[in-house]
Amino acid sequence: MSGVQGALVHHGRSREIEGDVVALEPAMGDSTLLTVRVPSAVAAEIRPGRFFDILCRPDGSSDPLLRRPYSVFASDPARAELQFLVRPYGRGSAWLARRRRGDVLDLLGPLGNAYTLDPGARHLLMVAGGVGVAPLVLLAREAVASGRNVVFLLGAADASGLLAAGHLPSAVEYVVATDDGSKGHRGFVTDLVPDYVRWADQVFACGPEPMYRSLRNGLLPLRIGNRPRVQVSMEREMACGLGACLGCVVETKRGMRTSCVEGPVFDMDDVRW
Ligand SMILES: Cc1cc2nc3c(=O)[nH]c(=O)nc-3n(C[C@H](O)[C@H](O)[C@H](O)COP(=O)(O)OP(=O)(O)OC[C@H]3O[C@@H](n4cnc5c(N)ncnc54)[C@H](O)[C@@H]3O)c2cc1C
Ligand code: FES
């Protein structure tokens, strides 16, 4: 990589940018919070839910071939910085989580759509599973800054996998669940949802698809009509990230839609489960 920090290459709807790694810190057990310097214009156009496809291989290597998608966890246009929360699952993510300060990353984006806040919604319920927390942290910050009330539910395997409360605005009501009961509710994060359904004007979720199924099953009998509306981020495995390979399609009531371009955020009621 040439190492020209912040160089922009336009690719139609998306841009390939080079970003310097400026900080790394451990977060949520085995994950890493990666701070990357990017052009401030890029940081300024981030919306909660959008993501970047990041090249996860050293210069000169073609393995792994495909980029890996990462949601934006935080965006600071004044400092020209983005943050990504990286959990090591396999080769690509493990490589990314091992970066050092001064390394240069190749990012494509921002890609995809974003969560949308209804103008009249005052009470927002956010439901996160594991590193699905990333786009919802950004959304919670935006919601609190606009004077809304946020309840943020997070589920993890155990206490070490939870996000430190300091990453959320202090005005957020933060409630956690762990599989082993080492902190908060013992059980699934979706067990907590019924307590807040009548309070919430909108619900936003990010996590694995089984979590969405259980969220939906719990919500359906409690909703009045289709209220509160629920938006979910469908984090499918993605090959191209550009709408070309159709590897990430989601079946909706409007037909097949690509998660990388027409998502990743979908209305829960629009998805065929
Ligand atoms: C829109 C979008 C946003 C995302 N945002 C984030 C984020 O903010 N932080 C983050 O850590 N991850 C995020 N992911 C998931 C991340 O892209 C994958 O973890 C990554 O691509 C895995 O690549 P790999 O090369 O490490 O694993 P691979 O070698 O491709 O896979 C290794 C093994 O891990 C399994 N695996 C891969 N990903 C996951 C997963 N997410 N959950 C469970 N098992 C998995 C695979 O099935 C395989 O068995 C996001 C995914 C999408 C689609
Ligand atoms: S990843 Fe290729 S169409 Fe979405």
- 250 within some domain: yes
Please tell me whether the overall predicted TM-score, pTM, comes out greater than 0.85 for this model: yes
* Ligand 1 close to Cβ of residue 50 (< 6 A): no
Domain that holds residue 217: 123-232
Q: 174 labelled as ligand-binding?
A: no
Is residue 81 domain-shared with residue 140, that is, in the same domain? Answer: no
- Centre of ligand 1 to C-alpha 52, Å, is 13
Structural domain contains residue 1: no
The answer to whether 260 is annotated as binding is yes
Question: How does pLDDT run along the chain (273 residues), one tens digit per residue?
Answer: 333 333 333 334 568 999 999 999 999 999 999 999 999 999 999 999 999 999 999 988 999 999 999 999 999 999 999 999 999 999 999 999 999 999 999 999 999 999 999 999 999 999 999 999 999 999 999 999 999 999 999 999 999 999 999 999 999 999 999 999 999 999 999 999 999 999 999 999 999 999 999 999 999 999 999 999 999 999 999 999 999 999 999 999 999 999 999 999 999 999 999
Q: Is 69 flagged in the annotation as binding? A: yes
Q: Nearest to residue 87, comparing CAs of 64, 110, 56, 65?
A: 56
Query: Which ligand is closest to the CA of 32, given by its number?
Result: 1
Q: How far is the CA of 245 from the centre of ligand 2 (A)?
A: 5
Residue 167 in domain: yes
- CATH number reported for the structural domain that contains residue 173 in this entry: 3.40.50.80
The CA distance from 148 to 197, in Å, is 16
Cβ of residue 70 lying under 6 Å from some atom of ligand 1? yes
Ligand 1 centroid to Cα of residue 89, in Å, is: 6
Does 236 show up as a binding residue in the annotation? no
